[in-house]
């Protein structure tokens, strides 16, 4: 922890009864001690363009030898002086040399290193149940908090969560402008969670934590998935407007858009490969890579099936004619 060994101190315990009899108080004694030991600027001497302060303080032995501290004279209200030992007692002890503060509160920070492949968030989750009884026994005014990377990740997540309502509103507005139909917008939104399957599998496979950067990668992944869904839904509508039946439009659009969607997804995945080895951006790259691979394959299967089920699309029945012999 960051509170090192305590420092040696010298304190003065004032006998208030004796001090009052002599017309003194603690502030008077403190001022005399401060003047004798540290010095007090009583005037200034001007020499050409420089101003030199004249400091009043005790001589060197009185300032450096603790044995002489009790003999320091204190002027009284009557004009006489008494030694410090007559109104107080010199006390030796220890106190913290540095008081660390956090949010203007005295704070003791306990640090630890994490070894191996285990992540700080995992260690924190294991330790948290053990801290519950300790928190319950803390006196009033004391609290136990978790810091480090876990705290910073929580701060980042809270800042991102504050912008989620605006993010959702903008996405819905853009989708409504593009698709111009609430049911198609809902279908596109339903494909976004498909990426969570790949994100979970890839993070578990590569042993990466779902921290702040991984969360940012997942949010970006949602946009990539919905982009593919918009392309596919829009192609279906274009084929229907061109005169194809709904069944043919669903099948033909999926086949026609298969190569562009897969190629763009592959380009995005390959672009994340160099970042996957980075200690900071690694979780984000792994989340995008795994989520996009799985979501792209599932979207090409899930969205056409959802569209057909949503609009009750059925195969076109072909009518065959049998020639009747004359």
This prediction has a pTM of 0.59
Confirm if 29 and 12 have CB atoms less than 8 A apart: yes
What is the predicted pLDDT for the residue at 319?
A: 46
Rg (CA), the chain: 39
321, pLDDT greater than 60:
no
How large is the average pLDDT for residues 274-296?
86
**Among 70-79, 232-241, 314-323, which is the least confidently predicted range?**
314-323
Cα distance between residue 282 and residue 179, in whole Å? 35
Question: Cβ–Cβ contacts within 10 Å for residue 100, how many?
Answer: 13
List the end-to-end C-alpha distance of the chain, in Å, as a whole number.
Answer: 105
Cα distance between residue 249 and residue 284, in whole Å? 36
Tokens of 220: 């970006």
Q: Which residues pair with 93 in a beta bridge?
A: 9
What is the predicted pLDDT for the residue at 324?
A: 56
How large is the average pLDDT for residues 225-237?
88
How large is the average pLDDT for residues 118-147?
86
**Among 7-11, 46-50, 206-210, which is the least confidently predicted range?**
206-210
Nearest to 31 by CA among 53, 12, 51: 12
The owner of tokens 């043919």 is 248
Dihedrals φ, ψ of 66, to 5°? -65, -25
- In the chain, % of residues over pLDDT 90: 3
Cα distance between residue 20 and residue 26, in whole Å? 10
The CA-based angle 84-86-87, given to 5 degrees, is 75
301, pLDDT greater than 80:
yes
Give per-residue pLDDT as tens, 158-194. 777 787 888 889 888 888 888 888 888 898 888 888 8
What is the predicted pLDDT for the residue at 317?
A: 61
Tokens of 15: 């006998």
Q: Work out the burial of residue 24: count CB atoms within 10 Å of its CB; fewer than 13 is exposed, 13-18 middle, 19 or more buried.
A: buried
Nearest to 247 by CA among 182, 185, 308, 318: 308
Q: In b/e form, how buried is each residue of 38-77, taking b as 16+ CB within 10 angstroms?
A: eeeeeeeeeeeeeeeeeeeebeeeeeeeeeebeebebebe
Give per-residue pLDDT as tens, 11-50. 888 888 888 888 888 888 888 888 888 888 888 988 888 8
């Amino acid at each position: 922890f960051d509170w090192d060994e305590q420092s040696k101190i010298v304190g003065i315990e004032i006998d208030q009864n004796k001090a009052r009899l002599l017309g003194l108080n603690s502030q008077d004694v403190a001022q005399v001690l401060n003047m004798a030991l540290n010095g007090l600027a009583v005037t200034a001497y001007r020499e050409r363009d420089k101003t030199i302060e004249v400091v009043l303080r005790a001589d060197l032995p009185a300032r450096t030898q603790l044995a002489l501290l009790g003999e320091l004279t204190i002027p009284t209200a009557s004009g006489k002086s008494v030694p410090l030992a007559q109104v107080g007692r010199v006390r030796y002890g220890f106190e913290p040399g540095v008081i660390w503060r956090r949010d203007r509160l005295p704070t003791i920070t306990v640090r630890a290193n994490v070894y191996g492949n285990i992540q700080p968030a995992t260690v924190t989750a294991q330790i948290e149940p053990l801290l519950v009884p300790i928190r319950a026994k803390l006196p009033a005014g004391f609290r136990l908090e978790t810091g480090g990377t876990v705290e910073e990740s929580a701060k980042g997540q809270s800042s991102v969560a504050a912008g989620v309502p605006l993010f959702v509103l903008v996405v819905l507005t853009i989708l409504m402008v593009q698709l111009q139909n609430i049911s198609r917008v809902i279908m596109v939104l339903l494909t976004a969670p498909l990426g969570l399957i790949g994100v979970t599998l890839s993070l578990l496979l590569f042993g990466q934590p779902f921290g702040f950067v991984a969360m940012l990668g997942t949010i970006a992944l949602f946009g990539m998935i919905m982009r593919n869904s918009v392309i596919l839904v829009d192609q279906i509508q274009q084929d229907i407007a061109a005169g194809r039946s709904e069944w043919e439009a669903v099948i033909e659009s999926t086949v026609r858009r298969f190569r562009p969607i897969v190629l763009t997804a592959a380009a995005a995945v390959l672009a994340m490969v160099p970042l996957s080895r980075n200690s900071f951006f690694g979780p984000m790259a792994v989340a995008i890579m795994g989520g996009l691979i799985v979501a792209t394959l599932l979207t090409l299967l899930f969205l056409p099936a959802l569209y057909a089920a949503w609009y009750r699309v059925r195969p076109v029945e072909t009518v065959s004619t049998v020639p009747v012999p004359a």
